[in-house]
Amino acid sequence: MKPEELLPHRPPFLLVDEIFDVVPGQSSKGRWHLTGDEYFFPGHFPGRPTLPGVLMLESMAQVAAAAVVTDDRFKGKIPLFGGIDKARFRRQVIPGDTLEMETEVLKMGSMGGKGKGLARVNGQLACDASFMFVIAEATI
């Protein structure tokens, strides 16, 4: 499904192209096809374009957010980062790569929760992390 149907994020900060296999309140998967035209590649780094690790984490969080916001308890809400633990970057991600992400919600309460995610390119682990999130209103 299209991320715009689930998430409040919009370009240039919508960092996922497809979301699928969503189990509300439990898990979700997504893909980000990196074309090389993304706004950050020219500056990160000239001559060696590399996906910034923080954007890889944000992309995984956006995929995980789909599992949260499809839970009936959290419609009209948005999960925000509360913390990132054990983030490891295992390979460079470059233009032309497709980032395949899997996320799981480990614990969820009315105010927030914990989750984990991993990202792969061609089956090779690129990043894995655990994260905490807080639940907020989608609009202020």
Could you tell me where the beta strands, DSSP code E, fall in the chain? Answer: 18-23, 27-33, 77-89, 98-108, 112-121, 124-137
pLDDT at residue number 138: 80
Active-site annotation, residues: 44
- Which pTM value belongs to this model? 0.95
78-88 per-position pLDDT tens digit: 999 999 999 99
Query: If pLDDT is split at 50, 70 and 90, which confidence band does 113 have?
Result: very high
How many structural domains does the chain have? 1
pLDDT at residue number 42: 96
56-76 per-position pLDDT tens digit: 999 999 999 999 999 999 988
Query: If pLDDT is split at 50, 70 and 90, which confidence band does 108 have?
Result: very high
Angle at 57 between CA 129 and CA 118, to 5 degrees: 45
pLDDT of 140 > 80? The answer is: no
CATH number for the domain that contains residue 23: 3.10.129.10
Domain carrying residue 72: 3-137
Token couple for 8: 């409040």
pLDDT of 139 > 90? The answer is: no
